[in-house]
Amino acid sequence: MIKSLAANEHVVRVYDQSRKWFERAERVLPGGVNSPVRAFRSVGGDPPVIAGAAGAVLVDVDGNEYIDYIGSWGPMILGHREATVVAALRAAVDTGLSYGAPSTPEVLLAEEIISRAPGLDMIRFVNSGTEATMSAIRLARAATKRDVIIKFSGGYHGHADSFLVQAGSGAATFGLPDSPGVTAGAAQDTRCAIYNDLGSVRRLFEAEPQRIAGIIVEPVAGNVGCIPPAPGFLAGLRALCNRSASLLIFDEVMTGFRVSRGGAIELYSVRPDLVTFGKVIGGGLPVGAYGGRAELMRLVAPSGPVYQAGTLSGNPLAMTGGLATLAMLDKAAYSELERRSARLEEGLLMACKSTHVRARVQRVGSMLTLFFADHDVRNYADAQRADHGRFKKFFHAMLRRGVHLPPSGYECWFVSLAHDDQIIERTVELAGEALSEITQ
């Protein structure tokens, strides 16, 4: 039994080696990290530096163990170092690391993804979610011969300039750069609407009826915490795009093959024109993809004029990792993920009730967020009104107890098949302890 699961055992955690490694990291990496949220700026303190992982458990360089609900931000749906995936990757290493030429694994993974996602005819692999979404909006603009893309406030689609945009003073105003280095020119063709508010989208179409190339949306908002689509919202976006000859793009980098066997497309029975993937389709290796109807995808070079390329795109190791992962994600696997995730949701709500903490647990499949709020969270503004100061206290109380949560109240927790009943029940128990501590 790992230390993190030992009943009634409170391990004194020492972070000497993590502090030394993080100090070294800060001298050579901006903020000591290679992606901002890892630096713990939202919750304070320094992060443990991870030495390894197995199943649902992380181990840091000091030997501390943690139940992991980050899962590499979603890809580790089977758990860390799942034996079948590891074996497949070891065999793939023996055949070569990268070719810069066509190979069989990319064809096999493309066929597998297309067989799962309704309405998908063709796919192009890239190396990250940012590449996928950036390429998808380029394709949408080329196909429609229009410039404007609608996104949603708080929605994150990677760090390309067109996406680092905040809403202006009203739903129909021009987007404003949200990061130094993003020019007004890069932001001027992006509009921001309000998630779960069809009226805000409709007004943008009415203001510029002939300019909107498409809408890009996380079908389940995941980068402001887990926010499900309201009934009719996604279908409403589909109808607006149909009426205006615009394209609907689902960003399924997070939800793709996480929320169901066919992703959000299958779960909500709404078909986008284009869809982007990442995370799960690489089994933990760097990967991204975008796809859609054949007539759209044939516009991509070399079949058509829309240029996009990548030296490591379709990397055989990433393709192998994805194939091995998806092979294990059958109907029974998703049923089990749903059961365990539902129990975690129920347990967290019971723990909040017993400690008189006002909170909401919002969940879709095996992704969820605990919001310290007395209101349902339907959009970014609602998420901002949650008590993030209380989340910060809860985060550290859980970390001290050996539970590694996303270090932000705006992120999703991810449950894997390695989170067995014992781990789920222990998490609920520790959450009750942590909630009791922060309310004293």
Known catalytic residue at 290: no
The β-bridge partners of 363 are 368
Closest CA to 197 of 220, 218, 226, 171: 171
Q: From the candidates 279, 382, 393, 410, give the one annotated as an active-site residue.
A: 279
Query: Do 310 and 373 share a structural domain?
Result: no
Query: Does 279 participate in catalysis according to the annotation?
Result: yes
Report yes or no on 198 lying in a domain: yes
Kindly state whether residues 92 and 18 are assigned to the same domain.
no
Asked whether residue 126 falls in the same domain as residue 35, the answer is no
Q: Is residue 100 part of a domain?
A: yes
Q: Give the global pTM.
A: 0.94
Establish if 160 belongs to a structural domain.
yes
Q: One of 156, 195, 268, 290 is an active-site residue; which one? A: 156
Looking at the structure, tell me whether residues 250 and 339 fall in a common domain. Answer: no
Q: Are residues 187 and 319 in the same domain?
A: yes
Q: Which two tokens stand for residue 371?
A: 């919001």
Instruction: Report yes or no: 284 and 322 within 8 Å, Cβ to Cβ.
Output: no
Q: Answer yes or no: 251 catalytic.
A: yes
Q: How far is CA 117 from the centre of its chain?
A: 18
Residue 352 near residue 436, CB atoms below 8 Å:
no
| Within-domain flag for 75 | no
Would 364 be classed as within a structural domain? yes
Going by C-alpha positions, the residue among 357, 353, 288, 295 that lies closest to residue 319 is 288
Q: Angle 413-318-64 (CA atoms, 0-180°, nearest 5)? A: 45
Per annotation, catalytic residue among 60, 197, 251, 382: 251
Domain of residue 311, CATH code:
3.40.640.10
**Same structural domain, 109 and 204:** yes
Picking from 406, 409, 387, 402, the residue whose alpha carbon sits closest to that of residue 434 is: 402
Residue 30 sits in the same domain as residue 160: no
Tokens 């279908």, residue located:
235
**Is residue 294, in this structure, part of any structural domain at all?**
yes
Q: Does the residue 107 lie in any domain?
A: yes
Are 224 and 93 contained in the same domain? yes
Neighbours of 231 (CB within 10 A): 10
Q: How far apart are the first and last CA of the chain?
A: 31
What's the domain range around 168? 83-327
- Count of the separate structural domains present in the chain: 2
The per-residue pLDDT string of the chain (440 residues; one tens digit each, 9 = 90 and over) reads 355 454 445 567 889 999 999 999 999 999 999 999 999 999 999 999 999 999 999 999 999 999 999 999 999 999 999 999 999 999 999 999 999 999 999 999 999 999 999 999 999 999 999 999 999 999 999 999 999 999 999 898 988 888 887 754 333 334 557 788 888 887 889 999 999 999 999 999 999 989 999 999 999 999 999 999 999 999 999 999 999 999 999 999 999 999 999 999 999 999 999 999 999 999 999 999 999 999 999 999 999 999 999 999 999 999 999 999 999 999 999 999 999 999 999 999 999 999 999 999 999 999 999 999 999 999 999 999 999 999 999 999 999 999 999 999 999 999 999 999 999 999 999 999 999 999 97
